Amino acid sequence: MIEMLIIAGAAPRQEAVLSEALARFRAQGVRVRLVCAFPLELTSLDTSSAEVYALPKAEAKARVKRLAGGAEPSRALWLGIRRDRVVRGWARTADILVSLDAVSVHTVWELAQRNLRADACQGLGPAGRAVQARLDGRARRRGTVGAATSARAGIVVRETRQRAAAAAKRSVRATMAPAVMRSAPGARFWRTVVAAPALPDRVRGGLAYQVHLRLLNADRADQAVAASAAAVRRMHDRRARVDLLTREAKKELGMGLIPVCLRETVTAQLTLADELLAKKNAHKAAQAVHQALQLLYHRVPQLEQSGSPLVADADAYLAPLLGSTAGQALLRQRGRAVPAAPTPTGRPRRLLVLTRDASRDHYLDQLRQRYELAPDVELRYVRLDDDPVSDKFARERGAVVEHLLAGGAATPFSKRVLAWLQPHLDWADTVFVDSCTAGALVTLNDPGDTRIVLRLHNFDLTGIWAQLIDLSRVDDLVYVSDHLRDLAHAALPQLRAGRRPAEHVLPPGLDLRAHALPKPPEARFTLAVVGADTAAKDARWAVAVLRLLRAEDRRYRLLLVGDGPDSVTGTNNKRYQAELVNDLAELASAVTYLDEVTDVAQVLTGVGVILSSSTREAFHCALVEGAASGAVPVVRDWPFLADLPHGPRTLFPADWVIATPDDAAKRILTATSSDDTWRADGAAASAHALSTWDWTVVRRGYDELFGVPATDPAG
């Protein structure tokens, strides 16, 4: 009987094909044995035609951890099963050894070196041919004595080398322990090692990467920078140097840290891009520029700290980008052939509202209802993610970068975007763009005489897509607050020179009247933070306020509206949530999490004080909705915006804004000292919110922006 051993390193993608092959082999009289390096519950494979053995998961992991030390998957699989008695027994008697996937190729090769009389195959097709050859009497010649001796010698050499390598890795890990790295001699030693002469770039790069991370983990950021610089100076290949710096930076970002070599890495990427651009290689230059942008505008340095480098010193932060040829090509304004046409007469105005996805719907509901009902307006609403074609465009940021580096000349990507967008542009008089992603796509090509209005109402203007918008093709920029306009002028280099759009500050359209509902007396002692699932909302600040209040009166409680700790994503957000959970340990009975809220207005009926504990906000709709409900508003002076001319103190009434938790507690204790005082303060806040930010008030500004007659009764 022919014996076949199949090694599967991962669950098969085409289970039906494998099941059919197993049945065919069994019908040919072949005894098939299948070794699976994955849990059998991951597959519904029909294994009735084979003996199946699943490698013990815990045992395999332990072996890989002990022996591999981070080996690639194919070698790790071999290290995990090399001493497994079942597999070794089956391999000794097998006539045909089969690797089912790329991960198992190395394992089958090693087994074949130990069983020279067996055929070694990759895939089911060659396995079938090997079976037929044996059935026809054309079996391969048994291994000769010389071949066996050579194979065994090779096994001995490889295993000796592997043991030596493993021992070396253990020694290296020991000498990279945090205690060693924190010491001056230890850091100096490794800085010398990575700069040693004659090391190949590949070896030097891998070693320097490990040293860099170990020094960071040992809180020696200065030595990490020095070690990386020493290694980079010794590397001959520019691309290898750039790859090392980029790999280090991305790892640090993944850890929630601002890369210590961020500027050096961005500069290296842009220098490489300049060289490639000079060689007319816009495609590879775009890849380098895109890498630089991903580092410059990553969430960690921009949004997950107490401030943004674009707020602190945008000129210094953006200097590598603005000083490079590639950066200048990226930001070059290309203008439009003709200006936007005047408002048409004799027919309704055609307004196209263009946005990215459903996350923006809340900010557009009132605007859409208004202009769907207006007799002098025809409205179209287009969301990029509603169409598979445009949704794909919104994921091809690199193609946008390549188009811009090519000088704005038509590229295959820009032609596809234009073919999709042109019918909308031909129809519309005005396009109201409510997304930086959509803004970049709309301005990729000349929009003709269609008026383009772009609204910025979030901190996505500190992201990459905002940098890809050609503002010389935008007629009007709308900000939801003055401080967002301040940030835009710091973050968007195009606003500093060249053609600038007309600028307007218009609050978002909110139906605040729907939130003005009666509150029961017990709501007076309930504080709320809405959207408390991110570090930017800083619910720990609200907890500090609650702690001060409960020291005076145990009736105060805190409602956190947003995803619970288990649903949070992002390294810094998870770290923050862990700290928040620790803070809540002593106050757990006084804090309630509420997620999946569908009726915010109803939730707010039970809230007496609405807190804006955030480090940053573009406008803070939830705070305004809470104020409209009659809750007493307490707004932290958002520290992220401290260096900007405007902020919460210019957006809200002065008595709403406070600086510290102590000040917040004093304001709350005063405002809630009695039911009458609380209701009076809440009524005043509600009146201000409704008269300032309700859609019935704000819509006049949008009517003027779009040229809709003020006498139009639709609302």
Read out DSSP for 44-70? Answer: ----TTSEEEEPPHHHHHHHIIIIISS
Query: What mean pLDDT do residues 253-273 have?
Result: 93
Of the listed ranges 361-365, 370-374, 632-636, 666-670, the least confidently predicted one is 361-365
Picking from 531, 548, 547, the residue whose alpha carbon sits closest to that of residue 539 is 531
Q: In sequence order, which residues have a C-beta less than 8 Å from that of residue 631 and are 6 or more positions away? A: 519, 523, 528, 604, 607, 608, 609, 610, 682, 685
Predicted local confidence at residue 535, as pLDDT: 87
- Judge whether residue 67 has pLDDT over 60: no
- Judge whether residue 346 has pLDDT over 80: yes
Predicted local confidence at residue 175, as pLDDT: 65
pLDDT in tens, 184-226: 888 888 888 888 888 888 888 888 898 898 888 888 888 889 9
- Judge whether residue 714 has pLDDT over 50: no
pLDDT in tens, 109-128: 889 888 888 999 999 999 99
CB atoms near residue 428 (< 10 Å): 23
Q: How many CA atoms lie within 13 A of 636 on its CB side?
A: 25
Predicted local confidence at residue 414, as pLDDT: 94
Residue pair 135/4 in contact by the 8 Å Cβ criterion: no
Predicted local confidence at residue 68, as pLDDT: 43
Distance CA 462, CA 70 (A): 36
User: What is the distance of C-alpha 10 from the center of its chain?
Assistant: 28
Residue type, 47: T
Residue pair 460/436 in contact by the 8 Å Cβ criterion: yes
Predicted local confidence at residue 66, as pLDDT: 44
Q: Residue 563 carries which DSSP code?
A: -
Predicted local confidence at residue 189, as pLDDT: 86
Tell me the two tokens of residue 135: 């059935």
Distance CA 385, CA 535 (A): 28
Q: Is 275 helix (H, G, I), strand (E, B) or coil?
A: helix
Q: Is 2 helix (H, G, I), strand (E, B) or coil?
A: strand
Ranges assigned E (strand) in 531-572: 557-561
Tell me the two tokens of residue 354: 């263009």
Distance CA 8, CA 98 (A): 9
- Judge whether residue 64 has pLDDT over 50: no
Q: Residue 631 carries which DSSP code?
A: P
Q: Is 430 helix (H, G, I), strand (E, B) or coil?
A: strand
Distance CA 17, CA 124 (A): 9
Query: What mean pLDDT do residues 90-104 have?
Result: 92
Cα angle value 590/595/601 (rounded, 5°): 90
Distance CA 463, CA 265 (A): 18
Over the chain, what is the mean pLDDT?
A: 88
Q: Give percent above pLDDT 70 in the chain.
A: 91
Distance CA 452, CA 424 (A): 12
Q: Which CATH superfamily is domain 512-693 in?
A: Glycogen Phosphorylase B; (3.40.50.2000)
Residue pair 622/530 in contact by the 8 Å Cβ criterion: yes
- Judge whether residue 403 has pLDDT over 70: yes
Predicted local confidence at residue 713, as pLDDT: 47
Tell me the residue length of the chain: 715
Distance CA 303, CA 683 (A): 34
Predicted local confidence at residue 154, as pLDDT: 63
Distance CA 259, CA 252 (A): 6
Of the listed ranges 222-231, 512-521, 579-588, 642-651, the least confidently predicted one is 579-588
Tell me the two tokens of residue 601: 């207005």
Of the listed ranges 321-330, 492-501, 552-561, 646-655, the least confidently predicted one is 492-501
Cα angle value 50/56/62 (rounded, 5°): 150
Residue pair 277/239 in contact by the 8 Å Cβ criterion: no
Predicted local confidence at residue 407, as pLDDT: 81
Contacts of 698-701 spanning 24+ positions with Cβ under 8 A: 698/506, 698/507, 698/508, 698/509, 698/510, 699/366, 699/367, 699/370, 699/509, 701/504, 701/506
Predicted local confidence at residue 642, as pLDDT: 85
Picking from 421, 476, 466, the residue whose alpha carbon sits closest to that of residue 445 is 421
pLDDT in tens, 355-394: 998 887 888 999 999 999 999 999 999 999 998 999 999 9
Q: How confident is the model at residue 310 (pLDDT cuts 50, 70, 90)?
A: confident
Tell me the two tokens of residue 476: 């009007």
Query: What mean pLDDT do residues 8-14 have?
Result: 86
Q: What fold, for 2-142?
A: Rossmann fold (3.40.50)
Of the listed ranges 145-149, 390-394, 499-503, 513-517, the least confidently predicted one is 145-149
Residue 510, beta-bridge partner list: 694
Tell me the two tokens of residue 439: 């803004």
Of the listed ranges 159-173, 176-190, 298-312, 403-417, the least confidently predicted one is 159-173
Contacts of 39-42 spanning 24+ positions with Cβ under 8 A: 42/11
Radius of gyration of the chain (CA): 32
Backbone φ and ψ for 450, nearest 5 degrees, come out as -80, 135
Q: How confident is the model at residue 580 (pLDDT cuts 50, 70, 90)?
A: confident
Distance CA 664, CA 634 (A): 7
Tell me the two tokens of residue 345: 């007469």
Distance CA 516, CA 293 (A): 44
Predicted local confidence at residue 152, as pLDDT: 60
Q: What fold, for 349-505?
A: Rossmann fold (3.40.50)
Left (φ > 0), alpha (ψ -120 to 50) or beta: where does 562 sit? left
- Judge whether residue 595 has pLDDT over 50: yes
Residue pair 633/528 in contact by the 8 Å Cβ criterion: no
Predicted local confidence at residue 161, as pLDDT: 56
Q: Is 149 helix (H, G, I), strand (E, B) or coil?
A: helix
Picking from 138, 134, 116, the residue whose alpha carbon sits closest to that of residue 29 is 134
**Whole-model pTM?**
0.76
Q: How confident is the model at residue 639 (pLDDT cuts 50, 70, 90)?
A: very high
Predicted local confidence at residue 168, as pLDDT: 46
Predicted local confidence at residue 192, as pLDDT: 87
Tell me the two tokens of residue 626: 């809470």
CB atoms near residue 435 (< 10 Å): 25
Distance CA 486, CA 157 (A): 67
